[in-house]
Structures are given as structure tokens and as C-alpha cells.
């Protein structure tokens, strides 16, 4: 039998917001044997990879930051990527987390050793790292997915995904095609439109938009935030209440949702005034809130530029010279940019996680699920941050990650205090919690269309069905009765 885990070692995969929050919580518990494996050359997660022009958070930075590390000198409401990355690097340094990070270490597989009750992570170059507890913190949006198009490999020009931006490639004067009009595209399309010779933007379905005014803060406002006690908290609370009201609209599409739709409609009509053809192309045909509502004030004006065309005809194939649409038209193209999102329902991809009875991917073959989005039956000492059904519908994912890290810290504390070898959620608890969670989607806008929130079976597996406050309450206190402890070889004193 394995030894008791009275001083458990912990292996975290990913040094983004989630991984850093988790390491900080473990330090609170007094656990020093913590290693963070990071594929990139430094901390930052998505904010180190997503460096496309215009990259920024899409909710105000007072919310898109740690509650315990509030910054008062953000340059604008929704901070650009360099500021967010610098913020994360500073937090990691200030909290003593940077020395724990092993950079250049993508994880290929993680294997459970039942005899030792440990996890071993293996990198592509053959390095191994072993610990008692494994915490993947790679998130839902970490594996880019290119468009799957006939003939794509024959394209004679350059192509790349927006999450792996080619800064060495000069787009000035080029004929550029952007495939996709999601959250990333609405940020970089205006930047590309300003320099490309011609830009084709390929859209499959329209989006509902809300305004995002993101000009630099005036000096007077910055002075108030930096010097008046409580102003930062007031601003943070205002944003929180607004985002919860967004969720209220999604959960109540026939009442509150109609009000939000009216706001979106008025805003979009104003931006599309005098452009009836573009308005017809761009207008969504699904319930407000069923898909992600996008905040932008620059995307529609970019589509109205003379050098930009919105293409809604389906793509038939890609040829060496460019893109051919279903109507037979050839769109000459020099560069293709894939703004096609991520493998959002893969969660721990591209890692292979092998537990006592098989892989996590096999366990999720019928659809991914986890108790509170964090822990899966028959995968002891494994906790997944930003796992199934923990995406936010309008609020800050940072609040979720902080709460999840605190919950996992309680689980690790229970493991250490009990002297057990392993801890795992009881199967009946996970089944019941998933059933209750799925039932909460009834009557919401999320069920009214197809979206990247759904898995191959049609279940919504990315988003939390309620409010941020609901989730924070659900994970605030770990219930020991929901977990089973595996005895160790050394009985602990009563």
C-alpha cells in the first residue's frame, strides 16, 4: 500500500491565471513541494500565446484580475495583452511563484501509479515529473483549431491561427482572408483592415454585439482610482453586477433577455445605418445570448471600409490562388488567418491523462463532466481547473479560478490531514451533481442554437448554467462526505 500523503507534493500544469492562483493557495497551506510545468517560455497562459493585434480582455480589468492583487493603474477599461501579461508576471514574482515554474515543458501524458499513489507527467523530450497531486490548469481555450476546409494544404500563400500570430509576416498591402468572426476576430479584424490591401472576412453565423468603449482613462479618472479609498471596489462591484445581469438575460430569454436584445439591436442598427446589405448579412438569426455576446465598437466600422468585404457564402474549397465559395467565386488570397477558436470541449487536450481504469478521454467519451467542474470519479488526486461547465457567460473567469483554487486547496488539506494515500470524488456525487447542473439549462437561451458550448452529443459542457455568485457559493466549502479517501500503508493515530 502507498505511504500517507501528510506532506503532499503537487504538480500543476500551466502557469496562467489558474496555475498561479493554485500555487498561491498551496503556499497558504504551507505546501512547498509545488512544481508548475509550462509549455511557453514564461507565465501568462493565454496572454502569452495570444499576441494578435488588438488583443485585450473584453471585460474591465478591475474584474479581470485577482481580488488579492488589484492594480490601480490600468491604462484603459479593458487592458491590452501586454499589460495583462506584465500583471501576471508581476503577481507571480511578488507571490514567490516564478521559481516554481519549469518553462519549455509541454506535457504529453500523465500516468497514475496505484502502488505509490502518485502521478507522473512526461514531456515530449522524455523528462518526467512525479507528484502526489496533479492539477491541470490549462483551461478551455488553449488548443487552437484551424478551419477544416477542402484543399487547405494546397494553398500557396501563408496561413496561421490568430492564437499563434505571425508577427514576422507583413500584411501591409496584402490580400488577407480571415475565417471566423468570434471573440478574437472582432479584436484583430479592425487592425488588419487598416493595413491590408484587401480583406475578406468569412462569416458562418452573425453575432449579437454590445458596445465596448475602450479609450485610455482620462487623467482625472486615473487620479480618483489611485487616490480615493474604495473607488476600485465600487468600480469592481458595478462591473460584477452588470455581468450578473447579462447572465440573467441568458437565463431568462423571454423577459430580461428581450431587454438585452433591444439594447443590442439599437446599437447594431446605429452602427449599420446606411448599410442595409451589410446589415442583412451580419444580423444573427438566433436567440440573444445563445452564443457568446461580443463586446466591440470597432468591428462593424471595420467591415464598412472600402477594402473590406464580409463573405457569408459558404467556403467550398481552398485552391493555391485563394478561396472558392459555394457560388463558384474565386477570392484571390495571399494570407489566411484562422480565427476559428479552440478545442473548447477537449479541456485537458492535448495531454493524455491515464487513471487507474483508463484514460480521462475515454471516461469522457460520452461527454465531459466533473463534480463542480473540478474532480472526476476514478481519477484520484486529480483536480482540473477551468474544467467542464465552469466557463462564465459574462463575468470574470478569474473569479471562478480563484474560487476553484481555494476549493482544491481544501481537498489537498483534507488529504494531508487524514493521512490517506489518495482522495477522489464519490461516483454517485458526481452523477447527481451533473444531472442537477444539466437540468438548470432548461428554459435558457443556451439551448436555442448550436454553439461551441456543446459537445458531440449536444450537451452543454463548457458553461456554468447559473450566476457567478452561485458558483462561488457552491465551491466555497468542500464537503468531506462527497469524497472517498484511499487508506495508506501507515495507519494514522486517532
Q: Report the domain count for the chain.
A: 2
Here the cell at position 74 is: 490600468
pLDDT tens for 139-175 read 887 889 999 999 999 999 999 999 999 999 999 999 9
Here the cell at position 123 is: 514531456
pLDDT tens for 325-379 read 999 999 999 999 999 998 877 788 889 999 999 999 999 998 999 999 999 999 9
Cα–chain-centroid distance for residue 380? 25
Last residue of a domain, one of 338, 363, 387: 338
Which alpha helices (H) appear in 95-193, and where do they start and end?
Answer: 185-193
Q: Are residues 188 and 98 in the same domain?
A: no
56 close to 80: Cβ distance less than 8 angstroms: yes
- What DSSP state is assigned to residue 153? G
- Taking CA atoms, 5 is separated from 31, 258, 353, 377, 479, in Å, by 12, 53, 21, 19, 19
Boundaries of domain holding 190: 152-208+254-338
- Taking CA atoms, 334 is separated from 190, 200, 302, in Å, by 18, 11, 20
- What DSSP state is assigned to residue 129? E
pLDDT tens for 125-144 read 999 999 999 999 998 878 89
Q: Are residues 65 and 98 in the same domain?
A: yes
427 close to 490: Cβ distance less than 8 angstroms: no
Is 241 contained in some domain?
Answer: no
Strand 358-359 with 422-425, pairing: unpaired
Q: Are residues 132 and 178 in the same domain?
A: no
Q: What is the CATH number of the domain that holds 362?
A: 3.50.50.60
**Has residue 490 got a pLDDT over 80?**
no
Q: Are residues 379 and 290 in the same domain?
A: no
Give the global pTM.
Answer: 0.95
Q: Are residues 163 and 301 in the same domain?
A: yes
Residue whose grid cell is 471573440 = 183
Partner residues linked to 330 by β-bridges:
324
Amino acid at each position: 500500500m502507498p505511504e500517507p500523503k501528510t506532506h503532499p507534493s503537487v504538480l500543476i500544469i500551466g502557469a496562467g491565471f489558474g496555475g498561479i492562483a493554485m500555487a498561491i493557495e498551496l503556499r497558504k497551506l504551507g505546501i512547498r513541494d509545488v512544481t508548475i510545468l509550462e509549455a511557453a517560455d514564461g507565465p501568462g497562459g493565454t496572454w502569452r500565446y495570444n499576441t494578435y493585434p488588438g488583443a485585450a480582455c473584453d471585460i474591465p480589468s478591475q474584474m479581470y484580475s485577482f481580488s488579492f492583487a488589484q492594480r490601480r493603474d490600468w491604462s484603459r477599461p479593458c487592458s491590452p495583452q501586454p499589460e495583462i501579461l506584465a500583471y501576471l508576471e508581476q503577481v507571480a514574482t511578488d507571490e514567490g511563484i516564478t521559481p516554481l515554474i519549469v518553462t519549455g515543458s509541454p506535457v504529453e501524458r500523465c500516468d497514475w501509479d496505484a502502488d505509490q499513489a502518485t502521478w507522473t507527467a512526461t514531456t515530449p523530450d522524455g523528462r518526467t515529473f512525479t507528484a502526489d497531486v496533479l492539477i491541470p490548469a490549462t483551461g478551455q481555450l488553449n488548443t487552437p483549431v484551424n478551419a477544416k476546409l477542402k484543399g487547405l494544404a494546397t494553398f500557396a500563400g501563408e496561413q496561421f491561427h490568430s492564437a499563434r500570430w505571425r508577427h514576422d509576416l507583413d500584411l501591409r498591402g496584402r490580400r488577407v482572408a480571415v475565417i471566423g468572426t468570434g471573440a478574437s476576430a472582432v479584436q484583430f479584424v479592425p487592425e488588419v483592415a487598416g493595413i491590408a490591401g484587401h480583406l475578406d472576412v468569412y462569416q458562418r453565423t452573425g453575432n449579437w454585439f454590445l458596445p465596448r468603449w475602450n479609450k485610455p482613462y482620462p487623467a482625472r479618472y486615473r487620479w480618483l482610482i489611485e487616490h480615493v479609498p474604495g473607488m476600485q471596489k465600487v468600480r469592481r462591484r458595478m462591473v460584477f453586477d452588470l455581468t450578473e445581469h447579462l447572465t440573467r438575460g441568458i437565463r431568462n430569454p423571454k423577459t430580461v433577455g428581450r431587454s438585452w436584445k433591444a439594447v443590442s439591436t439599437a446599437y447594431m442598427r446605429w452602427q449599420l445605418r446606411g448599410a442595409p446589405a451589410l446589415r442583412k448579412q451580419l444580423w444573427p438569426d438566433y436567440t440573444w445570448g445563445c452564443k457568446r455576446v461580443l463586446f466591440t465598437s470597432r468591428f462593424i466600422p471595420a467591415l464598412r471600409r472600402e477594402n473590406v468585404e464580409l463573405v457569408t457564402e459558404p467556403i467550398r474549397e481552398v485552391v493555391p490562388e485563394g478561396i472558392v465559395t459555394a457560388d463558384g467565386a474565386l477570392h484571390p488570397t495571399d494570407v489566411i488567418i484562422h480565427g476559428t477558436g479552440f478545442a473548447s470541449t477537449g479541456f485537458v487536450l492535448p495531454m493524455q491523462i491515464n487513471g487507474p481504469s483508463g484514460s480521462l478521454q475515454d471516461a469522457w467519451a460520452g461527454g465531459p463532466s466533473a463534480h463542480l467542474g473540478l474532480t472526476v470519479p476514478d481519477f484520484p488526486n486529480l483536480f482540473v481547473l477551468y474544467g467542464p461547465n465552469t466557463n462564465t457567460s459574462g463575468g470574470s473567469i478569474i473569479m471562478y479560478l480563484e474560487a476553484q483554487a481555494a476549493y482544491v486547496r481544501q481537498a489537498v488539506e483534507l488529504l494531508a490531514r487524514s493521512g490517506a494515500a489518495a482522495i477522489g470524488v464519490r461516483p454517485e456525487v458526481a452523477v447527481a451533481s451533473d444531472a442537477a447542473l444539466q437540468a438548470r439549462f432548461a428554459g435558457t437561451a443556451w439551448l436555442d442554437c448550436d454553439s461551441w458550448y456543446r459537445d458531440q452529443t449536444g450537451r452543454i459542457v463548457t458553461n456554468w448554467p447559473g450566476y457567478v455568485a452561485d458558483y462561488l457559493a457552491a465551491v466555497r466549502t468542500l464537503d468531506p462526505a462527497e469524497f472517498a479517501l484511499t487508506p495508506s500503508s501507515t495507519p494514522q493515530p486517532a
